[in-house]
Structure 1
Amino acid sequence: MRETENSVVAKEANRGNAERGGVDKGTVELRPDLLSGVSLPAAVIHEAPLAHNLAWMQRFAEAHGARLAPHGKTTMTPALFRRQLEAGAWGITLATAPQCRAAFAHGARRLLMANQLVGQANMAIVAGLLEAGADFYCVVDGVENVRQLGRFFEERGLRLVVLIELGVPGGRCGCRDQAGVEALAEAIAAEPALVLAGLEGYEGVVHGDDPAAAVSAYAQRLVEAALALESAGHFEVDEPIVTASGSAWYDLIAEAFQDASLQNRFVPVLRPGCYVVHDHGLYREAQRDVLVRRPDLQHGLEPALEVFAQVQSLPEPGLAIIALGKRDIGFDQLPVPLRRYREGGAANATLSVAGWQVTKLMDQHTFVRLPEDADDVAIGDIIAFGASHPCLTFDKWRQLLLVDETLEVRDSLSTCF
């Protein structure tokens, strides 16, 4: 059984090669010019803002005495994992055991699974990773899960490193109070196969009339809980971890960790994921709030992800149907028309999309209401669309195109969803 699991880990990097070789969802015809040589729609990452974002967030973490473990579930794109690690990331965060297996197979050695590890099949995947040399962490929030993990990994002759998750009432996972945290620490200590190495939280489930104040209060609770565990001698490692931070409130988490001087006693780890390509919706709005709170942070993140698609039909005055749908782009907010090009045109020869409004999104079609003066729209025109929440666009593609400022395709980036 173990040989089979390890072979799965070793071969994960080659998973999907046969799938990607044919004409299937997400496969694009790769040629140099996005405006003339690529089958659209296509998901596109712009190199300049991508490079900016990678460097910007790494500098931010380091300036606050923290390490960066970007959430890989956003992209599940090994080429982006490599660039994040090369930029200085401490590790890669993932959400599931199969995601961890895929990241490890593509070179990520330190894996932080910011989720509970449940189910023997998932435990077996993680056991295979540990046997293959992965530096792996997961979170726990209940005594029964601790007992299950303890039994499984003791039988395998392995030790599993865990972090206690601190949650909030009415939120998602996590211990609801300090008493629960302390009781769970005692339960972990009773399991020889488990090693308590820190505390984990997620502020994205914190809400209230003043969400910024609520997030700051939660961050303070996280700090206090970590210090209490340390004072009680519950950690079994020399450098325990304290980690939180999604892509909206990372500044408040980093400030709380820095103000408590945690870097002198812990390894503070930030886990934003969407920053790598940013967006034109939810996280753009969140970034504006960050820059209001922190005007000293220059410039901020830039949107790097767009989906290019063509005008398919002009069936009646004032209406354009675009060959783009829910299978191609995230839709928790409607896509935003950004720029328009003639097919075969030049990257600097843009046409107006002023007044264009997306009104409806179907599986393969987008309805756009055109202004009265939009009299130059032609079948085949190429529209660049922005989206909200990049996770929900990445997972629709088996590969994305990396382009330069002239829209020349520089690389094809495969995903491993």
Structure 2
Amino acid sequence: MMKCLHESFRGCEITDLDTPSLLVDLDVMERNISWMQQKAQRAGVNLRPHIKTHRTPDIAKKQLAAGAKGITVAKLGEGEVMAAEGIDDIFIANELAGDIKMDRLLALARKTTLAVGVDHPDHVKMLAETFDGESRPMEIMIDVDTGYHRTGVGSKEEILELAKLIRYRDSLKLRGIFTHDGNCYNATTISEVRSISQSSQNMMLEMAEFLRKEGIGVEEISIGSTPSLLVSEIMQGITEIRPGTYVFLDADQAGVIGTYEHCALSVLATVISCPAPDRIVLDAGTKALTFYFHRGNITSSPGFGLLKKRPTVYLKSLSEEHGMFTPPEDMAFRIGDKVEIIPNHACPTCNLYPVLYGVRNGQVQEEYKILARGMSK
């Protein structure tokens, strides 16, 4: 115990860890990484995993070692962290704006292979002016709205305008087009998820074909979202997939596939109070688990996370420092007991911790630093 507190936690039992602590089952994570990589290979597409889920360079390197083409990030700060750790093929699947961002993007592009998203002529203008005179052009991916209605262009006229603007600027190079079919999270059935995915992919293929007929080359057709890629086929002509949450899965994604067996991430918490027969209180609240959950769709959850190995026992309420659940009749809890909670959504949960403990057979084998924690600028 003292060794674990003052030196490395490697080799310790998870019960020796203080709480709340973030854990990942290495066997399950490695199977998830392998499963998605094999799916990409069978479809003949590149896998460019989104690292906003884990924000951890060591895990990104595991994905790359398994065969991933490069990585996807949501924010420039995440890309800066990953590049500093030696990852040299990064796509920022987002729009950037402002002088500060342009200066940082230029510095990053001088260190690594980079692409960035656009959906408006103003983005093209800012990027072209920033990279004017550079030894290599900035690679651009046009963001296409295929139904999520967040960012992206939604018409052929808009995408053609952007593609022509990019083509006429020497400091820019059009790599391709990308989308995020996040509207699949609102589906209520597996068949609806598949329908959304198929519609999104069809639109992307049509947009690419339209640009090609206009004489504009489209090298990459990139699609994303874990739910759709868990249950849908990848259509011929798609060149790249960008799932993120698949690496861990979570209670949300378990709702899609109908099992919690593939959930690798958990939060270790301690029972700190048993004030009533129907109430057990943990030392993990919104600052340890996130308040995030969906309602009324395929990723909906009846609570704020669930007890690992007891998929019917959900946390019924959270405050900042406390989580509460009603114990099942066949389980007794005492103050000091430790339990694992599968979080509803892995991405914001990881962003709450500096360290992720890699566990195998109940023992800590790895300590991953979540170096891109809080890197949301």
Counterpart in the other structure of 1:390: 346
Alpha-carbon spacing, 1:64–1:300, altered in 2? closer, same or farther (3 Å): farther
Report the counterpart of residue 301 of structure 2 in structure 1. Answer: none
Contact 1:28–1:38 (Cα < 8 Å) also in 2: no
Partners of 1:317 and 1:107 in 2: CA distance: 52
Q: What is aligned with 2:156? A: 178
Aligned equivalent of 1:277: 248
Distance in 2 between the 1:220 and 1:317 partners?
A: 54
- Asked if structure 2 preserves the Cα contact closer than 8 Å seen for 1:278 and 1:301, the reply is no
1:273–1:154: structure 2 CA closer, same or farther, 3 Å change rule?
same
Q: Report how far residue 205 of structure 1 moved.
A: 3.1
Is residue 172 of structure 2 the alignment partner of residue 194 of structure 1? yes
Q: Deviations over 1:82-105 (max 9, x none)?
A: 100000000000011111111111
Correspondent of 1:218 among 195, 200, 222? 200
Tell me how far 1:396 sits from its aligned partner: 0.5
Aligned to 1:6: none
> CA offsets per residue over residues 67-91 of structure 1, 9 Å max, x none?
1000011111111001000000000
State the alpha-carbon separation in 1 of the partners of residues 23 and 148 from structure 2: 38
- Of residues 364-373 and 194-203 in structure 1, the stretch that sits farther from structure 2 once superposed is 364-373
CA contact (8 A) 1:203 1:219 kept: no
Alignment partner of 1:144 is 2:122 = yes
1:326 aligns with 2:286: yes
* Structure 1 position 213, deviation (Å): 2.1
The equivalent of 2:13 in structure 1 is 34
Percent identical residues: 23
| Structure 1 counterpart SS, 2:335 | coil
The alignment's TM-score, normalised by the length of structure 2, stands at 0.87
- Is 1:71 equivalent to 2:50 in the alignment? yes
2:26 corresponds to = 47
Rg (Cα) greater in structure: 1
1:117 equivalent in alignment to 2:93: no
Show the counterpart of 1:104: 83
- The residue number in structure 2 matching 1:403 is 359
Letter in 1 for 2:241: L
Q: How much is the aligned-residue C-alpha RMSD, in angstroms?
A: 2.5
Q: Is the 8 A contact 1:199 1:241 kept in 2?
A: yes
Alpha-carbon distance change, 384 to 252 in structure 1, aligned in 2, over 3 angstroms: closer
After TM superposition, list the pairs within 5 Å mapping 1:227-266 onto structure 2: 227-235=209-217, 240-250=219-229, 254-256=233-235, 258=236, 262=237
Cα distance in 2, alignment partners of residues 170 and 303 from structure 1: 26
Tell me, yes or no, if the aligned pair for 1:336 and 1:358 is still in contact at 8 Å. Answer: yes
Counterpart secondary structure, 2:336: coil
| CA positional deviation for 1:184 | 1.1
Counterpart in the other structure of 2:272: 312
Match of 2:319 in 1: 362
Where structure 2 has 5 or more consecutive residues not aligned to the other structure, the ranges are 294-303
How far residue 357 of structure 1 moved from its aligned partner, in angstroms, is 4.4
Q: What amino acid does structure 2 have at the position aligned with 1:320? A: I
Match of 2:113 in 1: 135
Measure the CA separation in 1 of the matches of 2:35 and 2:70: 17
Per-residue displacement from partner, 1:315-343 (whole Å, max 9, x unpaired)?
Answer: 2333211111111113323110125xxxx
- In structure 1, runs of 5+ residues without a counterpart are 1-22, 289-298, 340-352
